[in-house]
Amino acid sequence: MRLDRYLSHATELSRKQARDLIKSGAISVDGVIRVDCAHAVNSEQRICCAGIEIAAPGPRYFMLYKPAGYICATKEGAHPTVLQLLDEPRREHLQIAGRLDVDTTGLVLITDDGQWNHRLTSPRSRCPKTYHLSLAEPLSMDALQQLERGVWLRHEHQRCLPAEVSRDDSQHIRLTLVEGRYHQVKRMLAAVGNRVVTLHRQRIGAIQLDPMLQPGDYRPLSADEIDGIAAL
Ligand code: URA
């Protein structure tokens, strides 16, 4: 990693402030002052500012309870982004792992570990995600079986993979998918002649939305939660 990137990841300095500090001669790498911002460093090296060691930037992982009205994007538009709910330094380094629609609530995972994010969101991982839905119409047995077999979505060339469906009652169901196509849940229900009224994501892989969180709250992931995704 470049020295200026290391510093801005490991501290609250912006990239510009990190560069200025490096150029001022305040930063040493393994005891040697380095004034080249592009100097390559790794986490095994001892990087100091005015003699004080700067700990290597560790990756961060969070779960957030997304409220309705927020978008899963890095820049706000007509709506605020879920990243604005995080009171964390260096928010601009964080990525949202998989998107929910503005009106969808529930579990969102956020990290600055690009590989972990990729593992979670890669179609090849087939990471299961469970959604709780309320529907405009009762779900017929025929529609339920179509979802379980895999429905065809408009403008798509491949049938959806089979979904797991369970009914709490005729208009409240739980759906587990191993894909993440655009507006997939809403389009699947439309394909069987129904309409999603509310949509909530409850689980990603082995990670359940923490029942202690209220909409808008977040917490760091535990080591087991992080490892569960890394093992996908
Ligand atoms: N499927 C949808 O249609 N919307 C979401 O937000 C997530 C999955």
Class (C level, CATH) for 128-204:
alpha beta
| Superfamily covering domain 3-53 | RNA-binding S4 domain (3.10.290.10)
pTM for the model: 0.83
User: Coil, strand or helix: which one is 40?
Assistant: strand
Q: What is the pLDDT of residue 92?
A: 83
Ligand 1 contacts CB of residue 185 (under 6 A): yes
The CATH architecture one would assign to domain 59-124+216-232 is 2-Layer Sandwich (3.30)
Ranges of residues in the chain with a pLDDT under 50 are: none
Q: Whose CA is nearest to atom 7 of ligand 1?
A: 100
Closest listed residue to residue 27, CA positions, set 18, 40, 16: 18
Q: Do domains 3-53 and 128-204 have the same CATH topology?
A: no
Ligand 1 contacts CB of residue 101 (under 6 A): yes
* Ligand 1 centroid, distance to 189 Cα (angstroms): 11
Q: What is the pLDDT of residue 155?
A: 87
Q: Where are the domains of the chain?
A: 3-53, 59-124+216-232, 128-204
Ligand 1 contacts CB of residue 105 (under 6 A): no
User: How far is the C-alpha of 54 from the C-alpha of 193, rounded, in Å?
Assistant: 58
Q: What is the pLDDT of residue 84?
A: 95
Closest listed residue to residue 144, CA positions, set 193, 200, 203: 193
Ligand 1 nearest-atom number relative to CA 101: 6
Give the catalytic positions in this structure: 101
Q: What is the pLDDT of residue 91?
A: 85
- Distances from the Cα of 181 to the Cα of 106, 158, 203, angstroms: 18, 11, 17
| Residues 170-190 pLDDT 10s | 999 999 999 999 999 999 999
Contact of 10 with 60, CB cutoff 8 Å: no
Contact of 5 with 93, CB cutoff 8 Å: no
DSSP of 146-211: HHHH-PPPTT-SSPPPP-EEEEEETTEEEEEES---TTHHHHHHHHTT--EEEEEEEEETTEEPPT
